[in-house]
């Protein structure tokens, strides 16, 4: 394995002077050196052939003992210095102080094909930031992260990626339901890849400690290495930086809304400074279109991170990033203006996104109303979001709309006349509106199919892969990995995954409800 190593974070930013791996507050530093934990009997479950190519490792090399050892933390690649990052965060609306990479260990950074990548292990043992937890990850959550991050990438959603999924061979104790019944589960390690894993929280922790010197170092570092086009650091550059982070964050969330992805834990420590979807925990996919849905049982009461609230939370998180960057800018007004632009841009971009889902490209003053009325109608009875939008592209004015989208209803037998009438009335407006567009039905169908995925990682699909993998059968991981590489294409042999959630999955743990215990 000859990797083009290009470490920057641990070379250019201040390191924790303490080298012992003890849990503590780490000050005056951006990271702590730490070695991954040796595992009992590591074994590979899956490797992403695409990420291998991206980082310049051959398939042959990925089968070597060395690959396995490096990407399970059992050996450290020569000339590299693994470390855990120091960050803080606002969790569920409250400042939580220092959090940090409690179970993520950064291995190294590389450059390949003009791209910069940071590689890290999730679940490779404790770090100074592990607080009261063990630094480990279980198989179920690792499969969910591995499959979903790659699926999101192919859906066109900005995201961190995954290179490999392995079993550690160790057992990990978890209380899945937080009901006092902990049990041992298989431990696993995902190697994740991203241009950078810096989060809003990396800035927040320094700012909260009044460590302006290191706050400036980190911000300058981020601009120099990841926002180079913004130019040399200055007050203006910091504002441009904040503006770009704001735009990227909004862009990412609009994509989430488009595909029906609910992150589940949008704490500021889970917000990437590059606007990437990061930290796949108790996330979920909308089955029935429901603005109020959240997959995270920890959030069941207040539903802070519910589907419809994600754009607001994005703004709330950016407000806290603005606060963190304030000492470098010392002017409130321009920061406020950027935050205000988020609201305006959200209205514009969200409308454009919804219009694209409906195959509407010209402007009409009633479009917003048409979309709001669709969103209301979609929530009358349980209606599968993915199937609805995918099948909508088959509609034309000569067809009965209700019949076209019928497959999306979870209980079609019991739909009342009233609901049926609402659908008929919506389709009649939609049909009229379509006549204003210049595209043929076929053209519209093709355009809509590029934004309305046919295949997403439905919650129960990940669970089926988990159950099989747990029994030692890795075939479903491979099947789903391949399926989700082409989410917008028709895959006739895989039609079975274009189906509503089966009844058994409705209230099953892991399918509709997830806790943070991963
Ligand atoms: P999360 O909400 O999963 O993003 O995690 C919030 C914080 O808890 C981060 O600092 C994580 O690194 C840390 N954390 C989560 N799970 C573990 C674990 N099993 N061991 C150590 N730290 C953890
Ligand atoms: Mg996290």
- Structure confidence by residue, pLDDT tens digits, 262-283: 999 999 999 999 999 999 999 9
Predicted pLDDT of residue 146: 98
Taking the C-alpha atoms of residue 88 and residue 269, their distance in angstroms, rounded to an integer, is 6
Question: How far away, in angstroms, is 430 Cα from ligand 1 center?
Answer: 46
Percent of all residues in the chain with a pLDDT value above 70, rounded to a whole number: 100
The residue nearest atom 18 of ligand 1, judged by CA position, is 135
Taking the C-alpha atoms of residue 79 and residue 77, their distance in angstroms, rounded to an integer, is 6
Taking the C-alpha atoms of residue 271 and residue 121, their distance in angstroms, rounded to an integer, is 18
Quickly tell me which residue has 């920890």 as its tokens.
298
Cα-trace Rg, the chain: 23
- Of 228, 247, 243, 265, nearest in space to 92 by CA: 265
DSSP classification of residue 257 = H
> Could you read off the pLDDT of 157-169 as tens digits, one per residue?
999 999 999 999 9
The residue nearest atom 20 of ligand 1, judged by CA position, is 135
Question: How far away, in angstroms, is 131 Cα from ligand 1 center?
Answer: 8
Q: Which residues are catalytic?
A: 269
Q: Give the SS3 label for residue 317.
A: helix
Taking the C-alpha atoms of residue 135 and residue 125, their distance in angstroms, rounded to an integer, is 4
For the record, the structure tokens of 127 come out as 């770090």
Point out the ligand nearest to the CA of residue 103.
1
DSSP classification of residue 299 = G
Q: Which atom of ligand 1 is nearest to the CA of 134?
A: 20
pLDDT at 359 over 80: yes
Point out the ligand nearest to the CA of residue 200.
2
Q: What are the beta bridge partners of residue 186?
A: 171
Pairing assessment for the beta strands 183-194 and 115-122 based on DSSP bridges: antiparallel
Look at the alpha carbons of 404, 409, 411, 415 in this order and tell me if their dihedral is positive or negative.
negative
Question: How far away, in angstroms, is 265 Cα from ligand 2 center?
Answer: 8
For the record, the structure tokens of 492 come out as 């006739």
Tell me the pTM. Answer: 0.98
Mean pLDDT across 315-321: 98
Ligand 1 site, CB within 6 A: 99-103, 129-130, 133-136, 265, 269-270, 279, 281, 516
Question: How far away, in angstroms, is 304 Cα from ligand 2 center?
Answer: 17
Question: Which residues lie below 8 Å from residue 158, measured CB to CB, with a gap of 6+?
Answer: 248, 251, 252, 255, 274, 275, 276, 277
Taking the C-alpha atoms of residue 413 and residue 332, their distance in angstroms, rounded to an integer, is 57
Point out the ligand nearest to the CA of residue 88.
1
Taking the C-alpha atoms of residue 237 and residue 243, their distance in angstroms, rounded to an integer, is 10
Confidence of residue 147 (pLDDT cuts 50, 70, 90): very high
Mean pLDDT across 385-394: 98
Pairing assessment for the beta strands 284-285 and 83-85 based on DSSP bridges: unpaired
Q: Which atom of ligand 1 is nearest to the CA of 100?
A: 10
Q: Which atom of ligand 1 is nearest to the CA of 136?
A: 19
Predicted pLDDT of residue 186: 97
The residue nearest atom 13 of ligand 1, judged by CA position, is 102
Mean pLDDT across 333-346: 98
pLDDT at 424 over 90: yes
Alpha helices in 157-211 (DSSP H): 200-208
Report phi then psi at 202, rounded to 5.
Answer: -65, -35
pLDDT at 517 over 80: no
Contact between 333 and 428 under an 8 Å Cβ cutoff? The reply is no
Confidence of residue 58 (pLDDT cuts 50, 70, 90): very high
CA–CA distances in Å: residue 108 to residues 51, 118, 362: 15, 6, 48
pLDDT at 192 over 80: yes
CA–CA distances in Å: residue 236 to residues 179, 295, 328, 329, 337: 51, 40, 10, 8, 14
- Of 202, 178, 378, nearest in space to 296 by CA: 178
Taking the C-alpha atoms of residue 188 and residue 46, their distance in angstroms, rounded to an integer, is 12
Cα angle 183-187-190, degrees, rounded to a multiple of 5: 140
pLDDT at 19 over 80: yes
Taking the C-alpha atoms of residue 270 and residue 89, their distance in angstroms, rounded to an integer, is 8
Predicted pLDDT of residue 518: 79
Percent of all residues in the chain with a pLDDT value above 90, rounded to a whole number: 95
Taking the C-alpha atoms of residue 73 and residue 126, their distance in angstroms, rounded to an integer, is 12
DSSP assignment string, 194-255:
ES---BHHHHHHHHHTT-HHHHHHHHHHHHHHH-GGG-S-SHHHHHHHHHHHHHHHHHHHHH
Look at the alpha carbons of 151, 453, 360, 257 in this order and tell me if their dihedral is positive or negative.
negative
Contact between 106 and 85 under an 8 Å Cβ cutoff? The reply is yes
Tell me how crowded residue 494 is: count the other CB atoms within 10 A of its CB. Answer: 17
Q: Which atom of ligand 1 is nearest to the CA of 281?
A: 3
Question: How far away, in angstroms, is 103 Cα from ligand 1 center?
Answer: 6
CA–CA distances in Å: residue 157 to residues 9, 154, 252, 456, 514: 25, 7, 6, 12, 22
Taking the C-alpha atoms of residue 341 and residue 247, their distance in angstroms, rounded to an integer, is 9
Q: Which atom of ligand 1 is nearest to the CA of 279?
A: 4
Mean pLDDT across 437-450: 96
Pocket of ligand 1, candidates 103, 189, 198: which has the most ligand atoms within 8 Å of its Cβ, to mutate?
A: 103
Mean pLDDT across 410-429: 97
Taking the C-alpha atoms of residue 188 and residue 465, their distance in angstroms, rounded to an integer, is 14
Predicted pLDDT of residue 512: 78
Pocket of ligand 1, candidates 133, 141, 168: which has the most ligand atoms within 8 Å of its Cβ, to mutate?
A: 133
Q: Give the SS3 label for residue 97.
A: strand
Predicted pLDDT of residue 442: 97
Contact between 517 and 175 under an 8 Å Cβ cutoff? The reply is yes
> Could you read off the pLDDT of 341-350 as tens digits, one per residue?
999 999 999 9
Predicted pLDDT of residue 177: 84
The residue nearest atom 22 of ligand 1, judged by CA position, is 102
Mean of the per-residue pLDDT values for the chain?
97
Predicted pLDDT of residue 508: 86
Taking the C-alpha atoms of residue 368 and residue 57, their distance in angstroms, rounded to an integer, is 48
Pairing assessment for the beta strands 183-194 and 137-138 based on DSSP bridges: antiparallel
Point out the ligand nearest to the CA of residue 174.
1
CA–CA distances in Å: residue 272 to residues 197, 277, 488: 7, 7, 26
Question: How far away, in angstroms, is 500 Cα from ligand 2 center?
Answer: 30
Pocket of ligand 1, candidates 102, 168, 182, 190: which has the most ligand atoms within 8 Å of its Cβ, to mutate?
A: 102
- The residue ranges of DSSP E strands in 337-440, in sequence order, are none
Taking the C-alpha atoms of residue 123 and residue 424, their distance in angstroms, rounded to an integer, is 51
The residue nearest atom 11 of ligand 1, judged by CA position, is 102
Tell me how crowded residue 211 is: count the other CB atoms within 10 A of its CB. Answer: 19
Tell me how crowded residue 464 is: count the other CB atoms within 10 A of its CB. Answer: 17
């Amino acid at each position: 394995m000859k990797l083009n190593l290009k470490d920057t974070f641990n070379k250019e930013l201040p390191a924790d002077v303490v080298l012992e791996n003890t849990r503590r507050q780490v000050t005056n530093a951006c990271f702590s050196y730490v070695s991954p934990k040796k595992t009992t009997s590591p074994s590979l479950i899956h490797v992403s052939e695409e990420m291998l190519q991206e980082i310049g490792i051959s398939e042959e090399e990925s089968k070597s003992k060395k690959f396995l050892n490096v990407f399970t933390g059992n050996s450290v690649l020569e000339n590299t210095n693994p470390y855990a990052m120091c960050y803080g965060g606002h969790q569920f609306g409250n400042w939580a102080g220092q959090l940090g990479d409690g179970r993520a260990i950064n291995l190294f950074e590389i450059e390949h094909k003009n791209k910069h990548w940071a590689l890290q292990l999730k679940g490779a043992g404790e770090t100074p930031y592990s607080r009261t937890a063990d630094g480990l990850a279980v198989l179920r959550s690792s499969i969910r992260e591995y499959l979903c991050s790659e699926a999101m990438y192919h859906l066109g959603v900005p995201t961190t990626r995954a290179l490999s999924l392995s079993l550690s061979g160790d057992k990990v104790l978890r209380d899945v339901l937080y009901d006092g019944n902990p049990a041992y589960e298989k431990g696993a390690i995902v190697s994740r890849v991203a241009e950078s894993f810096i989060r809003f929280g990396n800035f927040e922790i320094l700012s909260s400690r009044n460590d302006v010197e290191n706050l400036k170092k980190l911000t300058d570092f981020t601009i120099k290495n990841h926002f180079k086009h913004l130019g040399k650091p200055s007050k203006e550059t910091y504002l441009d930086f904040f503006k770009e982070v704001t735009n990227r964050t909004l862009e990412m969330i609009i994509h989430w809304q488009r595909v029906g992805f609910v992150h589940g834990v949008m704490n500021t420590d889970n917000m990437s400074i590059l606007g990437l979807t990061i930290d796949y925990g108790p996330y979920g996919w909308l089955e029935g279109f429901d603005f109020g849905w959240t997959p995270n049982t920890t959030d069941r009461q207040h539903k802070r991170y519910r589907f419809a609230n994600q754009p607001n939370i994005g703004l709330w998180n950016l407000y806290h990033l603005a606060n963190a960057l304030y000492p470098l800018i010392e002017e409130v007004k321009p920061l406020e203006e950027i935050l205000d632009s988020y609201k305006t841009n959200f209205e514009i971009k969200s409308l454009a996104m919804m219009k694209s889902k409906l195959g509407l490209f010209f402007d009409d003053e009633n479009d917003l109303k048409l979309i709001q009325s669709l969103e209301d109608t979609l929530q009358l009875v349980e209606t599968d979001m993915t199937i609805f939008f995918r099948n909508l592209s088959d509609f034309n004015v000569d067809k009965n709309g209700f019949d076209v989208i019928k497959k999306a209803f979870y209980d079609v037998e019991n739909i009342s006349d009233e609901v049926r009438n609402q659908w008929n009335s919506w389709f009649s407006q939609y049909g009229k509106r379509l006549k204003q567009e210049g595209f043929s039905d076929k053209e519209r169908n093709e355009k809509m199919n590029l934004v309305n995925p046919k295949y997403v990682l439905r919650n129960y699909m990940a669970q089926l892969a988990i159950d099989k993998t747990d029994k030692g059968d890795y075939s479903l991981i491979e099947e789903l990995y391949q399926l989700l590489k082409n989410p917008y294409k028709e895959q006739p042999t895989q039609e079975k995954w274009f189906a509503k959630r089966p009844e058994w999955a409705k209230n099953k743990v892991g399918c509709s409800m997830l806790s943070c215990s991963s």
